[in-house]
Amino acid sequence: MAYSIEQIRHKQWLKLKNPFNDAGCLEVYMNNDWYRVTGNDFRAWSGKRRITEHHIVRGNHRTEQYEYEGPVYAKGTNIEYIGEVVNRVVKRSEINE
């Protein structure tokens, strides 16, 4: 598929949505264990996801860990995936528009 100049320019400036704290430790659950992943894989993972945040205030270290249940996007896009949990990264080709 050929892209027009306008489409290419728009794609270069498209900012991906990250409705979560990407400064925390991002993890996904697969094969009975938690694995640390990048923000791009985290936002596209259709399965259990969790975030671990570290807070340090005046030498006091506190850890907060919670399961994330926000939207899932197709990898590399802002197209939201609404479907069954498949426990893997959702690709653009799997989205029916």
With cut-offs at 50, 70 and 90, classify the pLDDT of residue 16. confident
Report the percentage of the chain scoring pLDDT > 90: 59
0.75 exceeded by pTM? yes
Q: Write the DSSP symbol of residue 94.
A: G
Residue 8, pLDDT > 80, answer no
Side chain identity at residue 37, one-letter code: V
Tens-place pLDDT, residues 40-73: 999 999 999 999 999 999 989 999 999 999 999 9
What's the mean pLDDT in 10-19?
Answer: 74
Q: How far apart are CA 77 and CA 94, in angstroms?
A: 12
Residue 4, pLDDT score: 64
| Burial grade of 55 (CB within 10 A; 0-12, 13-18, 19 or more) | exposed
Of 13 and 39, more confident? 39
